[in-house]
């Protein structure tokens, strides 16, 4: 057996690896960590944790990198939005949080040996995935946030809108699950 395979076998049999990296964490641990991240974000930036607003900024920065201008767009017309765009993508704390979420999710998936490239079953699956992603993105923007910004940060900030978002998200998940079972299972 090669040295690499021996090392990988030792790691995969290690109790620390199994408990903290391979197996799923309990929901309570996740809830506590999310709460700590929310508190740290609010304390250090003065704003609740948000994800989807940063994606709008990324889109604007990319559009401007290709010669476009968003100065006249209503969403980016305020002085604060213009200051954010003028500062650049690498000078925005939300950029680093979102990159951390993306890279952290990838790392967690790789460490748990759960990364798989799946075969696309049909054109219908691709259309449903694209349509679902577009609807989720659109919904996040008209709701002024996603499940992090509108739900989690809303409830943590004692906002009624967070609870309204929770109810709407619950019913949306029920409908989405029914559609998934009906058309794709």
35-59 tens-digit pLDDT: 888 888 888 888 888 888 888 899 9
* Radius of gyration (C-alpha) of the chain in whole angstroms: 20
How high is the mean pLDDT of the chain? 85
CA 44, distance to chain mean position in Å, is 20
Residue 11 near residue 61 (C-beta atoms within 8 A): no
Dist CA 52 CA 130 (whole Å): 17
Mean pLDDT over 152-180 rounds to 88
Provide the terminal-to-terminal Cα distance of the chain, rounded to the nearest Å: 42
Instruction: Tell whether the model's pLDDT for residue 12 goes beyond 80.
Output: no
Dist CA 182 CA 184 (whole Å): 6
At 61 the pLDDT is 93
Per-residue pLDDT reduced to its tens digit, 84-130: 888 988 888 889 889 998 998 898 888 887 788 888 888 888 888 89
At 1 the pLDDT is 63
DSSP 8-state symbol, 19: I
Distances in Å between the alpha carbon of 161 and those of 153, 155, 165?
A: 10, 8, 6
Dist CA 33 CA 16 (whole Å): 19
**Higher pLDDT residue, 144 or 1?**
144
The pTM (predicted TM-score) of the whole model is 0.72
At 170 the pLDDT is 92
């Amino acid at each position: 057996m090669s040295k690499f395979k021996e090392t990988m076998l030792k790691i995969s049999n290690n109790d620390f690896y199994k408990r903290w990296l391979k197996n799923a964490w309990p929901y309570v641990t996740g809830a506590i960590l999310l709460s700590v991240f929310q508190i740290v974000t609010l304390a250090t930036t003065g704003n609740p944790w948000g994800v989807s607003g940063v994606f709008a900024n990324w889109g604007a920065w990319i559009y401007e990198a290709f010669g476009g201008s968003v100065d006249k767009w209503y969403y980016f017309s305020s002085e604060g939005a213009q200051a954010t765009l003028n500062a650049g993508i690498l000078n925005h704390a939300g950029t680093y949080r979102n990159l951390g979420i993306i890279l952290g999710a990838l790392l967690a998936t790789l460490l748990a040996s759960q990364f798989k490239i799946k075969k696309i079953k049909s054109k219908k699956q691709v259309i449903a995935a694209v349509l679902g992603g577009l609807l989720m993105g659109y919904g996040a923007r008209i709701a002024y946030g996603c499940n992090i910004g509108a739900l989690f940060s809303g409830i943590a900030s004692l906002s009624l809108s967070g609870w309204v978002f929770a109810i709407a998200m619950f019913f949306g998940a029920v409908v989405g699950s029914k559609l998934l079972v009906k058309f794709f299972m």
